[in-house]
């Protein structure tokens, strides 16, 4: 059973080929596992070795090329014919003598594609400098074009079924956030809260299970809240700590991130005030979201809302989200920031995270939303208020892992 109807995969392939034609690309050499999944359905933890999906502009189906032991997984999860699944032997894996791109180049030559214009995803995690140099060496008559994010931009508008997957991910994210908050008190450790979160992320609900998120939960605590990408330690929470929880629910590789800030005990006046400023800014920005607006309009509204309090934010406010694999849940296309002229369209999806980080503290409150005909619709239903947690509150023992 495929995750989507074959008709949907074919529409995605058609849109990809249209973009290829506009860029003068005959053969698209895809190595980003999210883009491979998007066009073929392939879903496995095999992206630590070289693999590719090859889209040929005048061929009906793509070709998957990967490790021999992963070929059965490709046949089980993709919609293509089995003969379009090609594998290389294990002596290519992590070898100093052989490279998988040598094999893939040979295949392209054998099927008559060695002299064409080949698009490669130059700037992404899974395509190394050696991989590119090997392709160039073994395909001397081909011309290469940078096709970074070509498929990513096609992914930016979701189908209705993708939106439904993300709604499920939103439910998982909300449940995981509740579990994380309930695990935060002075008798527990940071790792206990992370464990409670992970239980809910994978357990999901009785109706549907969760998937592993592309980024681990982040839990900067105390003065470390000034550093947004810290994870957890085995230290105990302390009365008076602020704790930032950033996580993402994931369903069938579709992500809905969510961030909230927790105060253990009475919050400082500063944290309380920052929370109100951020909440006000989020609400004003969400009112701007509608089809036809520019992404930079959202940033301008945020700047207008917060500048009167002397708040300046250097980093972007958010980014397109959806299908992805480690190490990132963002789609690497549009960003909510000044100068991004992306026009909002129905079923675009974003993580709006106007986090503020200062010298010794920080705060995060975020919303993941999709664009509807009338405005923004959040994937979760969680208060944007600062969460005040009793230092001595025991974690919820009704579900999940407890400390």
Listing DSSP states for 246-293 in one string gives EEEEEETTEEEEEEEEEEESSPPHHHHHHHHHHHHHHHHHHHH--TT-
- C-alpha 130 chain-centroid distance: 26
Residue-level pLDDT at 395: 47
- This prediction's pTM: 0.95
The predicted structure's pLDDT at residue 299 = 98
Provide the CB-side half-sphere exposure for 359 (13 A, CA). Answer: 0
All domains in the chain, ordered by first residue:
6-155 (3.40.350.10), 160-389 (3.90.230.10)
pLDDT at residue number 396:
52
Closest C-alpha among 18, 28, 17 to residue 116: 28
What pLDDT is stored for residue 33 in this prediction? Answer: 98
Residue ranges with strand state E in 50-125:
52-56, 63-67, 85-88, 117-120
Instruction: Pick left, alpha or beta for residue 317 (phi over 0 → left; psi -120 to 50 → alpha; otherwise beta).
Output: alpha
d(CA 361, CA 366): 17
Q: How many residues does the chain have?
A: 403
| Predicted pLDDT of residue 1 | 62
CB atoms within 10 A of CB 345: 12
pLDDT of residue 54: 98
Looking at residue 240, what DSSP letter applies? T
156 close to 320: Cβ distance less than 8 angstroms: yes
Alpha-carbon gap, residue 88 to 134, rounded angstroms: 16
Q: Which segments in the chain show pLDDT lower than 50?
A: 395, 397-403
Strands 27-30, 143-146: pairing kind: unpaired
- Crossing angle of helices 100-110 and 129-138, rounded to 10°: 40
């Amino acid at each position: 059973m495929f995750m989507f109807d074959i008709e949907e995969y074919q529409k995605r392939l058609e849109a990809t080929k249209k973009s290829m034609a506009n860029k003068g690309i005959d053969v698209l050499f895809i190595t980003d596992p999210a883009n491979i999944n998007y066009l073929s359905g392939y879903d496995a933890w095999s992206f630590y070795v070289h693999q590719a999906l090859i889209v040929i502009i005048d061929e009906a189906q793509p070709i998957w090329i990967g490790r021999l032991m992963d070929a059965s997984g490709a046949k089980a999860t993709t919609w293509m014919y089995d003969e379009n699944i090609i594998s290389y032997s294990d002596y290519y894996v992590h070898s100093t003598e052989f490279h998988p791109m040598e094999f893939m180049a040979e295949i392209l030559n054998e099927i008559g594609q060695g002299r064409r214009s080949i698009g490669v995803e130059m700037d992404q995690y899974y395509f190394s400098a050696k991989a590119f140099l090997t392709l160039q060496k073994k395909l001397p008559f081909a011309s290469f074009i940078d096709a970074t994010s070509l498929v990513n931009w096609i992914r930016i508008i979701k189908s209705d079924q993708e939106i439904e997957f993300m709604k499920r991910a939103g439910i998982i994210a909300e449940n995981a956030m509740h579990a994380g908050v309930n695990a935060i008190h002075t008798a527990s450790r940071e790792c206990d809260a992370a464990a409670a979160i992970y239980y809910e992320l994978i357990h999901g609900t009785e109706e549907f299970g969760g998937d592993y998120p592309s980024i681990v939960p982040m839990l900067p605590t105390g003065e470390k809240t000034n550093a947004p990408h810290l994870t957890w330690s085995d230290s105990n929470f302390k009365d008076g700590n602020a704790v930032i929880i950033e996580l993402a629910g994931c369903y069938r590789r579709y992500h809905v991130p969510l961030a909230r800030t927790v105060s253990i005990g009475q919050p400082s006046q500063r944290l309380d005030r920052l929370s109100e400023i951020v909440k006000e800014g989020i609400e004003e920005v969400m009112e701007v979201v509608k089809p036809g607006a520019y992404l930079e309009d959202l940033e301008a509204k945020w700047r207008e809302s917060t500048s009167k309090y002397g708040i300046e934010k250097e980093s972007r406010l958010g980014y397109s989200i959806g299908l992805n694999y480690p190490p990132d849940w963002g789609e690497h296309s549009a960003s909510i920031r000044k100068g991004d002229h992306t026009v909002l369209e129905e079923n675009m999806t974003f993580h709006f995270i106007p986090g503020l980080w200062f010298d010794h503290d920080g705060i995060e409150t975020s919303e993941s939303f999709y664009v509807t005909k009338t405005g923004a619709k959040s994937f979760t239903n969680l208060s944007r208020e600062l969460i005040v947690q009793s230092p001595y509150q025991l974690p919820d023992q009704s579900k999940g892992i407890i400390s």
